Amino acid sequence: MSMQPAGVFAQSYVRDMAIFRTWKQGAALGFFVLALLLVPTILGPRYVAIANIMLITSVVVLGLQITTGLAGQVNLGQAAFMGMGAYTAAALSSGQQWPFLVTVPLAGLVAALFGAIFGLAAVRIRGFYLALTTIAAQFIFVFAILNLPASWTGAAQGLRVETASVFGFVFNTDNRMYFLILAITAIMTVGAYGIARSRHGRAFVAVRDDDLAAGFTGVNVVRAKATAFFVGAFYAGVGGALWAYYIRFVAVDQFSLFNSVYYMGMVIVGGLGSMAGAFVGVFLIRAAQEILTSVGPSVADIFPALGSSVVFASVNIILGAAIALMLILEPRGVMHRFNILKRAFRLWPYPH
Contact (Cβ atoms closer than 8 angstroms) between residue 326 and residue 295: no
pTM of the model: 0.90
C-alpha–C-alpha distance, residues 199 and 327, integer Å: 30
List the chain domain ranges. Answer: 39-347
pLDDT for the residue numbered 15:
67
pLDDT for the residue numbered 1:
44
How distant is the alpha carbon of residue 257 from its chain centre? Answer: 15
Long-range contacts of 338-347 (CB under 8 A, 24+ apart): 343/3, 346/3, 346/5
pLDDT for the residue numbered 327:
81
17 membership: H or E segment, kind and range: none
pLDDT for the residue numbered 307:
59
Class of CATH domain 39-347: mainly alpha
DSSP for 203-226 reads: HHHHHHH-HHHHHHTT--HHHHHH
Half-sphere exposure of 285 (CA within 13 A, CB side): 34
Q: At what angle do helices 275-302 and 174-196 cross, to 10 degrees?
A: 140
- Residues of the chain under the 70 pLDDT cut: 1-10, 13-21, 296-297, 299-301, 303-313, 351-352
pLDDT for the residue numbered 281:
92
**Is 5 exposed, middle or buried, given 0-12, 13-18 or 19+ CB atoms closer than 10 A?**
exposed
Angle at 347 between CA 345 and CA 349, to 5 degrees: 90
pLDDT in tens, 109-160: 999 999 998 888 877 888 888 888 899 999 999 999 998 888 888 888 889 9
pLDDT in tens, 188-228: 999 999 999 899 999 999 999 888 899 888 899 989 999 99
Instruction: Report how far apart, in Å, the C-alpha atoms of 67 and of each of 61, 102, 170, 172, 205 are.
Output: 10, 25, 34, 33, 10
